[in-house]
Structure 1
């Protein structure tokens, strides 16, 4: 028996259902999956245009929905432009998709369930069955833990300050000596500028003391950075990061 041809409205209803309930996609036919995939690509393009428009003019929030505006206000407690400058420009798209956009992460999950990987750093969507690029191991004397390494090898990105915080909690000093530990670390994370190693070292020195992490301008942004890297910290070393988050929350609740 031929499968029923779905109307655009019926396909949209299915799409909304699998976005809200990701595992529902497993119950769909190949025809239904192909129709949903078409909408997913259109939605991905819409979000990419939204991100580009916003990043070209971060003061214009007209292209954001109410939830995204609320999320933006929670992230930034001071001047938006100054805070955005702390994020390397090459990470702006990823930052928007993961921290501000309401729909990007659910859409990435949908792509994954349909057999595709949406790289939030460069916006490309590729079949999971396609050969994936090999990543070189981080060649430093002190190895980074498996959670951290796997996170980066899967194509995820961190800002330089987030990397610096990881170095603090993991007891790794990003030195600028002949061995160039700082440069090796940032290159592993995709930062290839000649000054990236120096930037990491500078960020490290700014956050290496507990008071510099807690009594800092932009406490919400600091809390968000620590929360983002918390799953990447070795279990035996998470207590310090968790304590920093608690102290930041105490201070913010008093204000």
Structure 2
């Protein structure tokens, strides 16, 4: 029997490759049936399923899950956290938001601070930005050259291999938006007094470097895609589709694990609480 067609296969990178993001349409909706309301209902249903799977994952305690969310400003990292992970119990799920390294962190190698925040047994950790900032930003801004960038790609691959070989499942998502969509979202932030605080003057500088960042992302994703830490390019012009695609991929990954509840004391089966 032929294998069923997987519409998400073209968006999954599991080996080093030459990559140009222009080949991926940010407005594509490979997971959508064409009905936005139905897509939203599926996201809600998946959020409940993911909560149940997360409880089992936490009880099992044999695995760790690291989810990496990367993308340019306004690509939807915070929205993904709310829409996909917002129903999960904080008992076994936590988020780490990465900013520019502190002076103390700069006194160590760039992966030192990252390693301290990877998940422990039974935990799901979501990186809002990640160690990839330490190759993307300095490369675009000229703090490192292409030779140093290639060194960091290799170091990151080895780091992620270490995590994988010691029990961490790694899912990496690149939230891919168009330049026009980013413009609209940045303007919406400026126009909304409740969201204006999220706007930074540096957002405009980064936007002016759009083409350079697209090239940097292409190189980084192509150089660090691996079987143990694959990349998924998520078309993210549609917020609903972005959440739907990530939720589906997360559910599939959790269901592929041989999760089970731990064995309990048989005497508990007959215990009656008075």
Instruction: Return the TM-score normalized by structure 2.
Output: 0.28
Which of structures 1 and 2 has the larger relative contact order (alpha carbons within 8 angstroms, sep 6+)? 2
Normalized per residue, the structure richer in helix is 1
